[in-house]
Structure 1
Amino acid sequence: MTPDDIVDPLRPLQRLSDALRDTIHLRPGAQRDITPDIAQLLGTWRWAQSLDPAAPILARDLVSLCNHLDALTQAEPEPIMLADAPRIDRWCAAVVDNLPVPVGVVTGHPRLRKGARTMTSPLIRIALDKGWARTFSRYNLLGRPDRAVLAALRAKGRLRADAQFFNVPIAGGWT
């Protein structure tokens, strides 16, 4: 995936989910030809469902992953979910290892130290006007954007050199 492949930057994995569904239904056996980025998501999904991430890939697993991605794309967070959500400041959206991710400085994360410069799990949906993003693993609050964080993380070796910025259109104010 490149930034040019992202049709809807507010739901950057939607096209991927749609294409994966088409592959499952149009080409029997094609589920074994998935790209490493999908395999990574599928492994995480299987682990979260208490399944063996290394087991052979079945069409039902891919359908289940697509259903999960679609549900995350359509869900609105409850206020309690945002109250405990980590906050990402000085952030931007990037494509890293063929997946769209927010990168930036995080606070309030359950496993990361305050002020850690990091990338999140893959970006599923972003609501700039409401100040939140849904990644594969959790909701995140969004602080001020800063495209320079991508170059800083690449320069320090925290991101691969081929990580690319993609533009998320501003659809409202910042929190």
Structure 2
Amino acid sequence: MTPDDIADPLRPLQYVTDGLRGGALTESDPGITPLVRTHRLLNGTCPFAAILRQDIFDLCDHIDSLAGAVPDLSALETAPCIERWCGVVVEDLPVLVGLVTGHPRLRQGARTVTSPLVRIASDQGWARTFSRYYRLGRPDQSVFTALLAEGRLRSGARRFDIPDLGGWA
């Protein structure tokens, strides 16, 4: 996946679900196997069993479900906040990179790469990744350059544009 493959920057995994359903992508394409394994872990099934066609359809349905959901106020109140963020394609999947606060597993102000980005509602100040919601602070594309320079992103990582619609925390 390259930034050019992202037809809808507000719903970047649509490329993956469309490709899997249409046969343009398979489980052997980069990024797909980790998504299937993560989906299986979330469902309490064995992540390393052979990937079946039904697993692909289940993954697509799960991504569509996440992308179609709108968080309620309580979900956003407890969601971590990502500041100085931008959209990046890392290992063939779209993610956000930035500084996070209020994350249940990361220290305050940690530089992070999120799980794959499913949907972003920048005008409403939130994003949905494969694992959680994030409140959006101000975007800052310089974080991408800094993380590359520090070696915290692989050299193949590529930034992609997310429309600046305001709504930042």
Is this a same-fold pair by TM over 0.5?
A: yes
Aligned residues: 169
Q: Tell me which amino acid in the other structure corresponds to 2:60.
A: C
1:112-135 C-alpha deviation (Å, 9 max, x unpaired)? 000101110000000000000000
Distance in 2, matches of 1:125 and 1:7, equals 13
1:86-110 C-alpha deviation (Å, 9 max, x unpaired)? 0000110000100000000000000
Per residue, is there more helix in 1 or in 2? 1
> After TM superposition, which residue ranges in structure 1, 4 or more long, deviate above 6 angstroms?
none
Larger Cα-atom Rg: 1
SS of the residue 1:146 aligns to: coil
Q: Which residue of 2 aligns with 1:22?
A: 22
Distance in 2, matches of 1:86 and 1:23, equals 35
SS of the residue 2:46 aligns to: coil
Q: Which residue of 1 aligns with 2:133?
A: 139
SS of the residue 1:117 aligns to: strand
Q: Which residue of 2 aligns with 1:148?
A: 142
Matches within 5 A, 1:105-116: 105-116=99-110
Asked whether the 8 Å contact 1:122–1:135 carries over to 2, the reply is yes
Match of 1:67 among 55, 61, 67: 61
SS of the residue 1:65 aligns to: helix
Q: Which residue of 2 aligns with 1:92?
A: 86
Asked whether the 8 Å contact 1:94–1:166 carries over to 2, the reply is yes
- Over the matched positions of the two proteins, sequence identity in percent amounts to 56
TM-score normalised by the chain length of structure 2: 0.96
SS of the residue 1:15 aligns to: helix
Q: Tell me which amino acid in the other structure corresponds to 2:113.
A: M
Asked whether the 8 Å contact 1:43–1:54 carries over to 2, the reply is yes
User: Unpaired segments of 5 or more residues in structure 2?
Assistant: none
User: Unpaired segments of 5 or more residues in structure 1?
Assistant: 25-29
Q: State yes or no: 1:123 paired with 2:117.
A: yes
TM-score normalised by the chain length of structure 1: 0.93
Displacement of 1:19 after TM fit? 1.3
